[in-house]
Structure 1
Amino acid sequence: MKLSARNQLKGTVVAVETGPVTAKVKIDIGGGTIITSVITTETVADLDLQQGDSVVAIIKSSEVLIGK
Structure 2
Amino acid sequence: MKISARNALTGKVVEFQEGVVTAVITIDIGNGNHVISSITMDSAKRLGIEVGKKVTAIIKASDVMLAVD
The structure 1 segments of at least 4 consecutive aligned residues displaced by more than 2 Å after TM superposition are none
Correspondence for 1:18: 18
Who is 1:4 aligned against? 4
TM-score, with length taken from structure 1: 0.94
Structure 1 unaligned spans of 5+: none
* Separation in structure 1 between the aligned mates of residue 59 and residue 28 of structure 2, nearest angstrom: 15
Give the residue type in structure 2 aligned to 1:40: T
> What amino acid maps onto 2:22 in structure 1?
T
Distance 1:44 1:51 in 2: 12
- The CA RMSD measured in Å over matched residues stands at 0.8
Query: Could you tell me how far apart the structure 2 residues matched to 1:52 and 1:67 are?
Result: 34
Instruction: Calculate the TM-score normalised by the size of structure 2.
Output: 0.93
CA–CA separation in structure 1 for the residues paired with 2:4 and 2:20: 31
Q: How far, CA to CA, are the matches of 2:35 and 2:43 in structure 1?
A: 18
Unaligned runs of at least 5 residues, structure 2? none
Shift of 1:65: 1.3
The offset of 1:2, in angstroms, is: 1.3
Deviation at 1:53, TM superposition (A): 0.5
Deviations 1:22-42 (A, max 9, x none): 010000001111110000000
Counterpart Cα distance in 2 of 1:51 and 1:26: 9
- Aligned residues, how many? 68
Residue in 2 that maps onto 1:27: 27
